[in-house]
Amino acid sequence: MHPLRFTAESSSNGMLERDFTVGDVPGVLWSPASGAVRAPLVLMGHGGGNHKKSPAMAGRARLLVTGCGFHVAVIDAPGHGDRPRTPHDDQEIAVMQRAMAAGEPVGPIIVRYNAHLAERAVPEWQATLDALQRLPEIGADGPVGYWGLNMGTAIGVPLVAVEPRITAAVFGQHWPDVLAEQAKLITIPIEFDMQWDDEHIPREAGLALFDAFASKEKTLHANGGRHKELPRFAATSATRFFTRHLN
């Protein structure tokens, strides 16, 4: 069992930012400036090619930390951010880039590579959650949510399927291949984002993944617009979803 080690600390505008490692996995824990207040925890999974402190992660963390008083943790996915790439990572990324350059569909490559990353990431998330729950401001019995779109969904769905400590999740923007079978095991409340005019993920694919969740409470938010045009209000809606379920 790896302990959580804090490696850096800063704060700005009411938000405390603490870098940490659990084993060789680097992460960041954002908390209310007061720091030590016991509060719900939201784990966030970043998108493909991105990292734990990308603007999307920092922006969503701010909504949850300063808006709701929650703690938010993000770790770098395998091969992402401050983590080394394996030869397999390099190879898959090269295949993806060639497909993009040739204007060929990247969906099947992303699905395959993300499934591989999820196998590595799920146990890392579980070890990270073990370590985070030993912090007094989080605790072993506090509410835990998960929020991740794109690759964050590819890693989050198998994580939530095996992790009973997570009791509410926001997913979206992924293909149902691989994930639909895992989604059928999930019964916690779900909010699911898709883009109605996504040029990468066919509409039927997004609807099929949403349909697969066994959750009694699940809501699909389908926004007009292309893949990258997810509106800002999707994030404020997710924040309210977590407020409703983790408080």
Candidates 5-13, 44-52, 92-100, 218-226 — which segment interacts with a second copy by CB under 8 A? 218-226
Q: Which stretch binds a second copy (CB under 8 A): 80-88, 120-128, 160-168, 222-230?
A: 222-230
Site for a second copy in 167-206 (CB under 8 A): 196
Closer residue to a second copy, CB minimum distance, 20 or 213:
213
Q: Count the helices and strands in the chain (H runs, E runs).
A: 7, 9
Distances (CA, A) of 49 to 78, 82, 128, 188: 11, 12, 21, 28
Q: Which is nearer to a second copy, 31 or 215 (CB)?
A: 215
* Residue selected from 119, 224, 227, 242 as contacting a second copy according to rule CB under 8 A: 224
Q: Can you point out the beta strands (E) in 25-85?
A: 25-32, 41-45, 71-75
Task: Examine residue 216 and tell whether it contacts a second copy (CB under 8 A).
Answer: yes
The sign of the dihedral angle between the CA atoms of 83, 102, 111, 47 is positive
Cα–Cα distances in angstroms (integers) from residue 199 to residues 71, 114, 176, 194, in the given order: 34, 19, 16, 11
Which residue, among 244, 1, 15, has the nearest Cα to 132 in the 3D structure? 1
Task: Please state, in angstroms and rounded to a whole number, the distance separating the CA atoms of residues 82 and 205.
Answer: 32
Q: By CB under 8 A, is residue 222 in contact with a second copy?
A: yes
State in angstroms the smallest separation of the CB of 235 from a second copy: 13
Compute the least distance from the CB of residue 65 to a second copy, in Å.
20
Strand partners, 31: 16
Q: Which is nearer to a second copy, 24 or 197 (CB)?
A: 197
The residues, any chain, with a CB within 8 Å of residue 29's CB and separated by 6 or more, are 17, 18, 20, 71, 72, 73, 132
Residue 211 touches a second copy, criterion: CB under 8 A: yes
**Residue 207 binds to a second copy (criterion: CB under 8 A):** yes
Does residue 56 interact with a second copy by CB under 8 A?
A: no
Write out the residues near a second copy by the rule CB under 8 A: 196, 207, 210-211, 215-225, 231, 233, 236-237, 240, 244
